[in-house]
A and B are shown apart, each in its own frame.
Chain A
């Protein structure tokens, strides 16, 4: 007689233009599996209509973030054994974003805020100019380096309580990117960027609760970046009034 396969129950959020609800599925309880493996198993073997988003499966693309037992996680790098609580595994779409279907969220509001926060590069040179010389020990280069490993997964955006209560707030990822550009000497858009991050949805809304820092899968510190933006916008205010 073959060994009976060990199974576990996973609750997955199902929503398709309706109110949505959790549905339970029995999946193999493997010693080594990620949350994304479990979701993929359900879609491939139990219900083909389950929608979710992933691409690289190695923690580079930032596509597969979901709420796992109430916390935002990159599911491809999150082992079930590390997050399962009382044999309970609950997978839901990312918080603070509209749901398209099941586990797939609409990322448009997230990225629109990157543009609103001027988290876009403003070139100061053309291809005919020599390359800017930036040494690795330059303080601005070091500050930029601390902020550039963002994979745009929106885990911080889902973790942020200010985003939840203030729909206008740009959120940690967009402001973190703005901060990396404030430290880019090649960028020619600092005035417009500081005006954008000092506007209604900008950095001054941050309460420094550091949910973003706690959950960022790449261990970035958006709160520190936002503090940098607060400092620079304040300095710019005094520069202007002189």
Chain B
């Protein structure tokens, strides 16, 4: 089920996520406390390579980490195996990555917001 490769991928993505989660929460608290409007936030993030890298790597790490975690749960609790398990894992990855990438694109690239 979990071999060394998947185990390491999940641990490494956890290592990446740990500081990013703290950064994300800190940013949210700052934005709310400071009373920043959506326009003010987007003015800071759009076109910013730093914010793209911050949330881009976050989305990649979450997609991999979450897909492996749900893969284990679906195998151990619901008996998914073989190709069905592979397919499920990739669909979860694609879903998380797709939703995350859309958000990152909107916040750091798209002009004028969504």
Do A and B originate from a single complex? Answer: yes
Q: Give A contacts to B, CB under 8 Å.
A: 162, 165-166, 168-169, 198-202, 204-205, 230, 233-234, 237
Contact B76 A204 (CB under 8 A): no
Nearest B residue (CB) for A236: B4
Contact B8 A169 (CB under 8 A): no
Tell me, yes or no, whether B40 is within 8 Å of chain A by CB: no
Count the A-B residue pairs with Cβ separation under 8 angstroms: how many? 31
CB distance from A241 to the nearest CB of B (A): 11
CB distance from B39 to the nearest CB of A (A): 46
Question: Can you list 24 A-B contacts with CB-CB less than 8 angstroms, sorted by A residue number?
Answer: A162-B76, A165-B75, A165-B76, A166-B1, A166-B76, A168-B1, A169-B1, A198-B4, A199-B3, A200-B1, A200-B3, A201-B1, A202-B3, A202-B4, A204-B3, A204-B6, A204-B7, A205-B1, A205-B2, A230-B7, A234-B4, A234-B8, A237-B4, A237-B8
Q: Main secondary structure on chain B at its contact with chain A?
A: helix
A162 to B77, CA, bound (A): 10
Among B2, B3, B75, B77, chain A packs the most CB atoms within 10 A around the CB of B2
A127 to B1, CA, bound (A): 40
Cβ contacts under 8 Å, A233 to chain B: 4
A2 to B5, CA, bound (A): 71
Nearest B residue (CB) for A233: B4
Cβ contacts under 8 Å, B75 to chain A: 165-166
CB distance from B101 to the nearest CB of A (A): 29
Interface residues of B in 42-74 (CB under 8 A from A): none
Partner of A165, one of B2, B4, B77: B77
Nearest B residue (CB) for A206: B2
Cβ contacts under 8 Å, B8 to chain A: 234, 237
A233 to B1, CA, bound (A): 16
CB distance from A168 to the nearest CB of B (A): 6
CB distance from B35 to the nearest CB of A (A): 44
Give me 4 other A-B pairs in contact (C-beta within 8 A), A198-B3, A200-B1 excluded: A199-B3, A204-B7, A205-B1, A233-B4
